[in-house]
């Protein structure tokens, strides 16, 4: 049979895909095997190319930080294990000369119990109220001309005196304390009023310099500390109102009235039994563990500086021998907090490996000082990190590295927990690479399929000739 002729004239000479008549082809087992290999290989290469097209890699670049913002947000949440909220103060210093002390704006305080659970809200954006002191016409020496009305106790006398008197009001002081010096005339005048009114109260002084061990045992953290004792037991919290004679007398009167009501109720209960009225509120005495959680944020300049949390008070002088700055960093970060980030940003960060997300490496770490006159200082190196492949989708976060060490203080200096920070002039850019366009993908795909088909064809032709020559 004659092969069909090409009736297209000269146009058929440019046919790149010329057909071979079916009766001129021959199917072989070798060809079938090679065809299956070709199909499998092309399928594998197609899947690999498709996966490569759909997946991307993260790369990092280091460059000069072009961030033009003047400030950066500093977020913190720190729990102090042995410091009362009344004595917690935040200060900020930096190389531009900024010196902000006792910052209360955007700061929240919670008093903690001995189990580390929030017990009492101590205020937000609230400045500590300055107590009022009373001025007197007479000096303390002039008041003593008619006798000393305040009894001075030593460590040896303290326990005995507390046990032998139902009501004792104690002023724990230090001779060098300026607030104690201002209180002494008022305290003497108050003791004189107690005597004149025949109140069953013993008003005493304890010098915490001469009786340091006693004051440590009583956990006196600041001077002056005015503490009420009832039948040998300290009644907490300590007195923190105005330091005037009238206010002190009013406080003592309320304590006596409560005690009298309690005694009357106990008598009525014995006489009336179950018919007795309800028990009155006893003397106020709630546990007051000196722990404080402080949280909030600060807007700090983008220059080297530090913020430190120290024991300080506008109404007291702190007892350096009893100041313990042991703390737990619950959270510390720079930039916008995660809670305020949009769903799009959270989705973007979800695909970022952990090594590129060192935003809060201090979270959950405890820094405990087992000795007085010591505190931890933290040094933070902040690196601005830019995520995204374009300016439109760019997200700026702040990673940082930290180093901490425990620092010793002299006996008269009050320790502080210091966080020193420094922003690097370099920034890190994290972006996705190897993102192929659709035409790159198609070009690679056709090259792989065509190359595989051609290569397998060459191998098939070679093997066919080898096996055919052996048969001949």
Q: What pLDDT is recorded for position 126?
A: 67
Kindly report which listed range (45-49, 360-364, 461-465) carries the lowest average pLDDT score. Answer: 461-465
C-alpha span between 262 and 284 (Å, rounded): 12
> For 236-261, how does the pLDDT look when each residue is reduced to its tens digit (9 = 90+)?
889 999 999 999 999 999 988 888 77
C-alpha span between 74 and 80 (Å, rounded): 19
Task: With a cut of 80, say whether residue 44 has pLDDT above it.
Answer: yes
Task: Count helices and strands (H / E) in the chain.
Answer: 8, 20
Kindly report which listed range (219-223, 360-364, 368-372, 388-392) carries the lowest average pLDDT score. Answer: 388-392
DSSP 366-391: EE---SSSEEEEEEEEEEEEEESSSS
Beta carbons within 8 Å of 35's beta carbon, 6+ residues apart: 456
Nearest partner of 87 among 419, 377, 319, judged by Cα: 319
C-alpha span between 427 and 148 (Å, rounded): 70
Q: What pLDDT is recorded for position 228?
A: 94
Q: Angle between the 29-54 and 438-471 helix axes, to the nearest 10 degrees?
A: 160
Residue, of 443 and 169, whose pLDDT is higher: 169
SS3 state of residue 319 = coil
In angstroms, how far is CA 466 from the centroid of its own chain?
A: 76
Q: Please, are residues 58 and 353 in contact by the beta-carbon 8 Å criterion?
A: yes
Q: What pLDDT is recorded for position 443?
A: 85
Q: Where does the pLDDT of residue 283 fall: very low under 50, low under 70, confident under 90, or very high at 90 and above?
A: very low
| Phi, psi at 160, each rounded to 5° | -65, -45
Task: With a cut of 80, say whether residue 435 has pLDDT above it.
Answer: no
> For 122-155, how does the pLDDT look when each residue is reduced to its tens digit (9 = 90+)?
666 667 788 999 988 888 888 888 889 999 999 9
Task: With a cut of 80, say whether residue 301 has pLDDT above it.
Answer: yes
Q: Please, are residues 326 and 372 in contact by the beta-carbon 8 Å criterion?
A: no
3-state secondary structure string across 259-284: HHHHHHHHHHHHHHHHHCCCCCCCCC
Residue, of 171 and 45, whose pLDDT is higher: 171
Alpha-carbon torsion angle 306, 308, 313, 314, nearest 10 = 10
Kindly report which listed range (53-67, 227-241, 396-410) carries the lowest average pLDDT score. Answer: 53-67
> For 440-455, how does the pLDDT look when each residue is reduced to its tens digit (9 = 90+)?
878 888 888 888 888 8
Q: Where does the pLDDT of residue 186 fall: very low under 50, low under 70, confident under 90, or very high at 90 and above?
A: very high
Kindly report which listed range (218-232, 267-281, 415-429, 447-461) carries the lowest average pLDDT score. Answer: 267-281
């Amino acid at each position: 049979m004659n092969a069909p002729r090409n009736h297209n004239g000269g146009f058929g000479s440019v046919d790149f895909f010329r057909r071979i008549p079916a009766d001129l082809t021959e199917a072989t087992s070798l060809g079938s095997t090679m065809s299956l290999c070709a199909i499998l290989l092309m399928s594998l290469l197609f899947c690999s190319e498709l996966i490569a097209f759909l997946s991307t890699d993260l790369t990092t670049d280091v460059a000069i930080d072009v961030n033009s913002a003047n400030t950066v947000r500093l977020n913190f949440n720190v729990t102090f294990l042995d410091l009362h909220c009344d004595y917690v103060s935040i200060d900020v210093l930096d190389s531009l000369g900024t010196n902000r002390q006792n910052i209360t704006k955007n700061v929240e305080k919670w008093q903690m119990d001995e189990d580390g659970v929030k017990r009492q809200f101590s205020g937000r954006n609230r400045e500590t109220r300055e107590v009022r002191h009373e001025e007197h016409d007479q000096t303390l020496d002039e008041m003593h001309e008619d006798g000393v009305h305040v009894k001075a106790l030593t460590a040896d006398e303290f326990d005995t005196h507390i046990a032998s008197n139902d009501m004792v009001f104690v002023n724990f002081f230090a001779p060098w304390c300026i607030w104690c010096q201002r209180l002494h005339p008022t305290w003497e005048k108050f003791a004189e009023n107690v005597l004149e009114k025949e109140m069953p109260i013993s008003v005493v002084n304890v010098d915490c310099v001469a009786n340091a061990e006693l004051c440590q045992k009583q956990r006196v953290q600041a001077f002056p500390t005015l503490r009420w004792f009832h039948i040998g037991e300290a009644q907490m919290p300590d007195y923190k109102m105005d330091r005037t004679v009238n206010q002190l007398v009013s406080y003592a009167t309320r304590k006596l009235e409560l005690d009298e009501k309690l005694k009357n109720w106990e008598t009525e209960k014995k006489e009336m039994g179950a018919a007795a009225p309800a028990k009155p509120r006893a003397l106020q005495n709630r546990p007051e563990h000196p722990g404080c959680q402080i949280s909030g944020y600060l807007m700090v300049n983008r220059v080297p500086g530090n913020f430190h949390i120290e024991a300080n008070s506008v109404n007291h002088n702190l007892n350096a021998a009893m100041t313990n700055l042991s703390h737990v960093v619950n959270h510390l970060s720079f930039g916008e907090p995660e809670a305020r980030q949009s769903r799009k940003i959270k989705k973007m960060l979800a695909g970022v490996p952990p090594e590129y997300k060192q935003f809060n490496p201090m979270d959950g770490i405890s820094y405990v000082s087992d000795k007085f006159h010591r505190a931890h200082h933290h040094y933070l190196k902040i690196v601005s990190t830019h995520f995204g492949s374009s300016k439109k989708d760019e997200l700026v976060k702040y990673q940082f590295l930290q180093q901490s060490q425990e620092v010793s203080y002299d006996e008269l200096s009050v320790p502080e927990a210091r966080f020193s920070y420094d922003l690097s002039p370099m920034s890190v850019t994290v972006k996705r690479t190897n993102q192929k366009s659709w035409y790159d993908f198609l070009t690679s795909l056709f090259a792989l399929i065509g190359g595989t088909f051609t290569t397998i064809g060459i191998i098939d032709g070679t093997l066919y000739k080898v096996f055919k020559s052996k048969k001949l």
